[in-house]
Amino acid sequence: MNYFVIADPDKCIGCRTCTVACVVAHSEENIFYQNPEDINFNPKLEVIKTNKVSAPIQCRHCEDAPCLNVCPNNAISKLNNVIKIEEEKCVGCKTCMLACPIGAIDFAVIDSFNKDKLYCVEKMVANKCDLCISSPDGPACQRVCPTQAFKIVENLEENIKNKRKASIANLSNL
């Protein structure tokens, strides 16, 4: 069973602290000491704000991930139940973005250095939440949210069974 991070729109204030934490967690250098022009600001989640609600849209790491199934380059893989994009394999065809049922994939510009030809090229690659898989502390968005709007959803089958039991108990009390 996979797990994913979800935000409660009733708690989210749209401050975008989660997006900064995401960028920091995925940066090789500390962005707070870099020249602002050199920062590659590509968060792996998108905060959507409307007049009434705000919440980040993040990958649900689907069991039978449509993005993984449609990728023509095998640039998307499943690693420890996390759907991960391998940037070096991504050709930027956007098929995964079209296949994602919740719109959690966007595209980011990365600099790619060709060692054989000694030049640098800007390349568009798929970009989405990877649950901060390389961090032992887990998802950065969850750790920094000032309103604790984020929670990790795991053991989904067990949660469903408990809800069903509670529903039956409530019905028997009627």
- Each domain of the chain, given as residue ranges in start order, spans 1-58+130-174, 63-128
- How confident is the model at residue 110, as a pLDDT? 80
Architecture (CATH level 2) of domain 63-128: 2-Layer Sandwich (3.30)
Q: Over the stretch 92-114, which tens digit does the pLDDT of each residue have? A: 999 999 999 999 999 998 866 55
Percent of the chain exceeding pLDDT 70 equals 93
Asked if the model's pLDDT at residue 31 lies above 70, the reply is yes
Angle at 118 between CA 127 and CA 87, to 5 degrees: 15
Over 90: is that where the pLDDT of 166 sits? no
pLDDT, tens digit (0-9, with 9 covering 90-100), for 120-158: 677 899 999 999 998 899 899 999 999 999 998 887 777
Query: In Å, how far from its chain's centre is CA 58?
Result: 4
Q: What is the pLDDT of residue 115?
A: 59
**Which CATH class for the 1-58+130-174 domain?**
alpha beta
Q: Which pLDDT tens digit goes with each residue over 43-90? A: 999 999 999 899 999 999 998 999 999 999 999 999 888 999 999 999
Same fold, 1-58+130-174 and 63-128: yes
